[in-house]
Amino acid sequence: MGKKSMSGRKLTFLLITIPIVALFFCFNTLPLIKGVIYSFTNFKGYGSYDWVGLRNYKDLFTDSRVGGSYLFTFKLAIVATIVTNVLSLILALGLNSKIRFKSALRGAYFIPNVLGALVVGYIFNYFFTYILPAFGKMIGNKTLSSSMLSSTSLAWVAIVIVCAWQSIAMNTIIYISGLQTVPADVYEAGAIDGATGFSKFRYLTFPLIVPFFSINMVLCVKNFLMVFDQIMALTKGGPAQSTESISYLIYNNGMSGGQFGFQSANAVIFFIVIVIISAAQLTITGKKEEQL
């Protein structure tokens, strides 16, 4: 009976797993394989195509537009990651302290994460195009008197603001979860040793929430490197292609620009870059956790 019931359990788990694996293969693995195949062709997204070997990959390293998109994307990811984690950690420390209505405040701060990225982007588009310039004219500030989205030097700052505003919510929740795992005894022992203020955070709190910091850093870098919705809603890569992220370039030129094969090669390289960066982050933060 034991063997029969055990085999029945295994069969049940197998029947549950097979449809999920099949769906994952159809909607993730198979498109990935086809994308890799198309990267070796001159496919335009329609009609016939020819094999071109590694030509697409060679052209990627000489295309100035692709290089510009990589530079912009990495700049955005680095700045947005720093801003998001600094602000979310400060918010988490405040919301984890003994203040009134902290449950309600946590819910309020989480609202941006519930809203869709495109919705948030279009709301901020209106803000940067009409409300902020009107405010700039009222106070006599020339920089703010015109839309940030029309400036090649300021448009990326607007995108960082939107990305950070929406991402802070989830990061704050993760940091709060980490702060709640810190034992009260640690703070009591620290108080005896004279740890207060920033030294209390630096030597007691932060070392104990490093695993949560690692999670937030990896998620932030990955999400910001793949930024797309905010670009679509705010600038569509402009002005003068100054805010064209890698994901937006792959979508725009691949789907409607007749460069499906070329941008498939770009997507393959981008995928490899993200995997390498994520693996490096996990390795570095893992070593720091072991040291602590």
The residue extents of the domains of the chain are: 63-291
Residue 178 · residue 209 · CB < 8 Å: yes
Q: Please give the distance of CA 215 from its chain centroid, rounded to a whole number.
A: 12
pTM: 0.87
Residue 59 · residue 262 · CB < 8 Å: yes
Q: What pLDDT was estimated at residue 1? A: 46
Q: What pLDDT was estimated at residue 5? A: 52
Q: Which fold has domain 63-291?
A: MetI-like fold (1.10.3720)
Alpha helices in the chain (DSSP H): 2-24, 30-38, 55-60, 64-95, 102-114, 117-126, 132-139, 142-145, 155-179, 184-192, 197-200, 206-208, 210-225, 229-234, 246-255, 260-291
Rg (CA), the chain: 24
What pLDDT tens digit does each residue of the chain (292 aa) get?
Answer: 445 555 778 888 888 899 999 999 999 899 999 999 999 999 998 888 999 999 999 999 999 999 999 999 999 999 999 999 999 999 998 888 777 777 777 777 788 888 888 999 999 999 999 999 999 999 999 888 999 999 999 999 999 999 999 999 999 999 999 998 888 888 778 777 777 777 888 888 888 898 899 899 999 999 999 999 999 999 999 899 999 999 999 999 998 888 999 999 999 999 999 999 988 988 887 776 666 6
Alpha-carbon distance of 180 to 60, in angstroms, equals 47
Helix (H, G, I), strand (E, B) or coil at 226: coil
Q: Please give the distance of CA 94 from its chain centroid, rounded to a whole number.
A: 24
- Give which of 43, 72, 111, 113 is closest to 257, Cα–Cα: 43
Q: Please give the distance of CA 58 from its chain centroid, rounded to a whole number.
A: 28
Q: What pLDDT was estimated at residue 290? A: 67
Q: What pLDDT was estimated at residue 2? A: 47
